[in-house]
Amino acid sequence: MNKFKLKRSILISLIILIFIFIVYFVSIELKDGSLVNNQYKGKIKSANLSVDYEINQVMKDIDKLGLNTVNVPIIINVESINSDIMSIDNNSKEKAIKLIKKLNKKGISTILEAYPWVENGKLYETDWNPINKKRFFYTWQNAILNELIIDVANPLDVNVLNIGSNFVHLEEYQQNWGEIIDFVQSKFDGLVTYRTNWWYTKKDDSSSKLFYEQKLNNNFFDKLDFISIAAYFELSNKPVNTVDELISALHSSTVNNRGQNIKQEIYNLYKAHRKPIFFGELGFSNRESASSQPWNHTPSKAVNGEEQARCFEAYKKVFEMKTG
């Protein structure tokens, strides 16, 4: 089975939702002149799919965007924000199986994601806070991930399994996640990742610093093959920016005068865990103020595709690996 050979290097690749028009996929060299070594002998060009994707359109977009990797979600139905009971959506699973078979024939690598669909998609996974944590972890491991491994990941030679995404209220349970990672790695043939949510720090905000320190000290990250980040970092308060201003903001965010050095903090996460870093999500709307609220599809009413392009260009310039 072909696998991403990501170990012993630092990789940051921009993974954009499939509908975003301007896409850059870049890698970053952060230490000791080491180069990314992966099956593509170059950059991973990837996109995340929304859960309502259409297979034929996905295949067209792969050719249009020149992708070599696709993140495929399978819906995990969750009844309420505090529910500790969940189930795999069979229709979503069957659609994913059909798509992955087509991707395999085309030589496209896959990242399989168990995607929490809370209250029928009305709420985000970042809000999910199961009341019974013990029941959650048992079910997530044995009823969700185990079934996905047996029915989808192993038989279809999936390259990467994303064991969780943006579980803000669950990430602190390091021992439980460590046990899940051990379980998955004992049964799954590919690589294992977890997607942590973006964060912010501010000089005079001790709680934000503590939250970031918890990520640096989270020992279950050490067990992963690589760490994924949902990189919706807030850059600038200005509705419209130059590329140079956005580059500067990646080194010192101007949102609420935070002064957050986003690039350095990502590097610190790598240094703390010595695991490759992968941008599991990155996106900007085609609106003014896109850089101040990257996580918001409509941060303003003013359409501005040029501002969107400049946001991506800034990330490209800051994080692109220099090979020459």
Burial class (CB in 10 A: 0-12, 13-18, 19+), 164: buried
Has residue 111 been placed in a domain? yes
The residue range of the domain holding 242 is: 231-323
pLDDT at 20: 31
Q: What's the mean per-residue pLDDT of the chain? A: 87
- The CATH number that applies at residue 49 is 3.20.20.80
Pairing mode, strands 69-78 and 46-48: parallel
Same domain (yes/no): 54, 111: yes
d(CA 212, CA 217) in angstroms, rounded, equals 9
190 three-class SS: coil
Has residue 149 been placed in a domain? yes
- Last residue in a domain, options 181, 197, 213: 197
**Quick one: which of 177, 85, 82, 195 has its CA closest to 139?**
85
Longest CA–CA separation in the chain, Å = 53
Stretches in the chain below the pLDDT threshold 70? 1-42, 321-324
pLDDT at 308: 97
Same domain (yes/no): 183, 244: no
pLDDT at 320: 79
Has residue 276 been placed in a domain? yes
pLDDT at 137: 98
**6-40 burial string, b = 16+ CB within 10 Å, else e?**
beebbbbbbbbebebeebbbbbbbbeeeeebebee
Count of domains observed in the chain: 2
d(CA 216, CA 208) in angstroms, rounded, equals 13
Same domain (yes/no): 77, 164: yes
Has residue 105 been placed in a domain? yes
Q: What is the pTM of this model?
A: 0.86
Cα 159–chain centre separation: 15
Same domain (yes/no): 158, 246: no
pLDDT at 192: 98
Same domain (yes/no): 191, 247: no
